[in-house]
Structure 1
Amino acid sequence: MTRRLFAAFSFVCLFASVSFSQNNGVLPLTGLRFFNEGISAKSIEVRIDGAQLINNRIPLNKDIEILLTRPAGFAESNKILYAGAEFALVSPRGELLSQIPNLLAANQSTGFIGGNLSALSIKFGITSEMIRANMNGTVKIRLYDLKGKSQMRLEIPITLARKDEPLQVSKATRSIPAKNGAVGVVNGLKAKNVLVSLDTSITVAPKMAYTSLDISAIEGSSISGIFQGKESFWVYDDNLNEVKITDILLKQVKGAMENNNVDYTLKIPYRPKNTTAKTYTVRFRWESPDRKQLIDVVVKI
């Protein structure tokens, strides 16, 4: 089950671009889901060769790195913390393809220097023997405290990249200023801000409530460029289980002739109007035909 798996775990000093404060959530760019169950981090990134992965298509036989900045929640003894990291690869049908109980078995007795830890790095790789005949699956990482009961779970949906497919990575992603708990990232573009609101006035699907995203003053594209891009959205319930939505999103694209800035408004159906007690997570992604430009926004509503 674990043949030819390569993995590593280390502590490093690095900075991340997307911060969050909620206990559970979904990250832009990769769709990684995180569950803080006693262990938390200020931010999380997925990287390949030091650059940030901007989608969930990964190559075989390549180190994939997960960076967690300012991890907290470990019990320390004499400023030493003892961490374990369980790896599992699961098929789309839920079949366990590969598993390692603790990637840190070699450090189990010595632990790691704690204190004001800057960042934590987990590395893993996928081989053809592990993924078998599947083209996609889910990587599950459980980071846990060997001296306590705290843990953090990470789940990353992955799709195998073709052998000749350029990796979609970047060192130039930018955060979009946002309020109302939204987290937005762009690549190859700039955006002034994103405003989030609830819209129940739309009559196209009169039974649905919509998440409204107003992304203003986008630089680096055009009205026609936005229309040529690909739009996707995902909806998750309060347990971060994906909710299938059959209604389509609505959009409006406007621009100013003098500066070529674009204002982009999305209306995303996410729940029936009569369901108000639950919290939902909505993720929206736009990417250009060459995949070099993107907008990715996640909001709890």
Structure 2
Amino acid sequence: MKFQLASFLLVLQGVFTCAFAQSNGVLPLTGIQYFNEGISARYVEVAVDGARLISNRIPANKEFAITLQLPTGYDADASKKIYPAAEVTVLNNRKQVLAAMGNVMKEYERSGFAAQGYNSLTLKVSLLSAWLKNEPECIVQVRYYDLKSKKQLRVIFPVSIATPGEALAVSKIPLTIKSNEASLGMSNALTIQKAEVTVDTSIRVAPKNAYLSIDMPGIKGTSMTEVVAGKYSFWVYDAAGNEIKIADKLLKKVGGSMEDDIVNLTVKIPFRLKTDLKKTYIVRFRWEGADKKKVIDMVATR
């Protein structure tokens, strides 16, 4: 079942993946933010040409798919039908609207869908050059909502516009990283046995800060040289999803066995003051190899 409306295409299908850990948060690999406000889902993933995107870089005029997996929370009527809707808005980083669509599921407003068979919703989008003009980045906002209630799920995807001919970072099977509570991690083209996430207040480099410590022993499929030379990034958000700019630097320690190509990596990320004990923060860490295929992406809430 599908239909075309401007540059948007909807496809209903059955798929399966891992779950949202909380009502608001950030997802690894793409950096998508989600806000469950009555409607929730197992996951949101982005794909290009059938392969899962493991970054947020997409070229203009290239179709990509945003899939909402196993959505729940819609109110069914007496005939056990639900009436989902979705709006798409594209903004620049100054929050100016570049393109806006109303309900792209308007065709189904009256007929609805059988609640039992509503497993996923795939929205295919092309970021047209006419919208973007010379913008190097944009924000794709999708609001999934229930026509029979005030429930909704907001998804915010920050997109960096790739250059023409740039190889996109995609994967058929990114791997889940085992970690402790309130943490979610994914890797690609390497394997990590486990990531242990804790809060460290003993760092003397910036003694006023608390650091999120991510300890990742036994990384296979890379080398110490490659890990040291990779790109390290981190982001910090408050509980409402607002990004907080942190001036202090990430700290890292790389070790392991050169003979067996086993790497141990520990990173420590400044995310709050030691005295700030009442607020909750969302911290995302990303390591990317020079080939952009090897990726470690962790999100933790503390």
The aligned counterpart of 1:184 is 185
1:130 and 1:12 mapped to 2: Cα distance? 29
Displacement of 1:119 after TM fit? 2.1
2:246 and 2:63 mapped to 1: Cα distance? 34
The aligned counterpart of 1:131 is 132
The aligned counterpart of 2:53 is 53
The aligned counterpart of 2:241 is 240
1:123 and 1:74 mapped to 2: Cα distance? 22
User: Which residues in structure 2 correspond to 1:79-228 (within 5 Å)?
Assistant: 79-115=80-116, 117-228=118-229
Residue identity opposite 2:43 in structure 1: S
Displacement of 1:259 after TM fit? 2.4
1:108 and 1:118 mapped to 2: Cα distance? 18
Q: How many residues align?
A: 297
The aligned counterpart of 1:278 is 279
% identical aligned pairs: 42
Residue identity opposite 1:265 in structure 2: T
Q: Does the CA contact (< 8 Å) of 1:235 and 1:282 recur in 2?
A: yes
Deviations 1:143-181 (A, max 9, x none): 000111110000011111111101211102100111121
Residue identity opposite 1:234 in structure 2: W
Q: Does the CA contact (< 8 Å) of 1:219 and 1:260 recur in 2?
A: yes
Displacement of 1:258 after TM fit? 4.7
Residue identity opposite 1:198 in structure 2: V
Normalised by the size of structure 1, how large is the TM-score? 0.95
SS of equivalent to 2:227: helix
2:167 and 2:226 mapped to 1: Cα distance? 22
Deviations 1:113-137 (A, max 9, x none): 2215332222222101111221211
Q: Does the CA contact (< 8 Å) of 1:139 and 1:158 recur in 2?
A: yes
Q: Does the CA contact (< 8 Å) of 1:85 and 1:141 recur in 2?
A: yes
| Distance change in 2, residues 1:112/1:66 (3 Å) | same
2:160 and 2:69 mapped to 1: Cα distance? 26
Displacement of 1:272 after TM fit? 1.1
User: Which residues in structure 2 correspond to 1:69-84 (within 5 Å)?
Assistant: 69-77=69-77, 78-84=79-85
SS of equivalent to 2:226: helix
1:233 and 1:257 mapped to 2: Cα distance? 27
Normalised by the size of structure 2, how large is the TM-score? 0.95
The aligned counterpart of 1:29 is 29
Displacement of 1:61 after TM fit? 2.0
2:83 and 2:60 mapped to 1: Cα distance? 30
Residue identity opposite 2:74 in structure 1: F
1:108 and 1:124 mapped to 2: Cα distance? 21
Q: Does the CA contact (< 8 Å) of 2:236 and 2:284 recur in 1?
A: yes
SS of equivalent to 2:103: coil
Residue identity opposite 1:280 in structure 2: Y
Displacement of 1:94 after TM fit? 1.4
Residue identity opposite 1:262 in structure 2: V
2:269 and 2:187 mapped to 1: Cα distance? 19
Displacement of 1:257 after TM fit? 4.2
2:118 and 2:105 mapped to 1: Cα distance? 17
**Structure 1 stretches of 4+ moved >3 Å:** none
Structure 1, 263-272 or 132-141: larger mean CA deviation: 132-141
Q: Does the CA contact (< 8 Å) of 2:187 and 2:297 recur in 1?
A: yes
* Residue 268 (structure 1) aligned with residue 255 (structure 2): no
Q: Does the CA contact (< 8 Å) of 1:5 and 1:130 recur in 2?
A: no
SS of equivalent to 1:226: helix
